[in-house]
Amino acid sequence: MRTEKAYPIKPNPMRSSRNKIQLGVFSTNTEGGCTVTNAPERLRGDDWAGNLEIARVADDAGFEAFIPVGR
């Protein structure tokens, strides 16, 4: 029996990227992420606006993944 898919399959950027190495940003949804610093100019991702800013910067830089800490 053959069935047709009702929804098109979206490409996975991690598998369809032409880059030889895929880059990602991890754990930004905690204050300071994985960075151990008290620098006042660090990007803060402990709220929605901060995570959105970090995601946009990473996307503009060509990063393929944005992976938060699961809570």
54 closest CA partner among 18, 15, 22, 63 = 63
Dist CA 67 CA 23 (whole Å): 11
Tell which residue, 53, 65, 2, has the closest CA to residue 43.
53
- Please, what is the end-to-end C-alpha distance for the chain in angstroms? 42
Q: Can you give the pTM of this predicted structure?
A: 0.61
Summarize pLDDT for 20-38 with one digit per residue, the tens: 788 888 888 776 666 677 7
- Asked whether residue 56 carries a pLDDT value surpassing 90, the answer given is yes
The pLDDT, as a whole number, for residue 1 is 57
The residue ranges of every structural domain in the chain are 19-34+41-67
Question: Higher pLDDT residue, 5 or 30?
Answer: 30
Q: Which tokens in the block code for residue 17?
A: 């990227």
CA 68 from chain center: how many Å?
Answer: 7
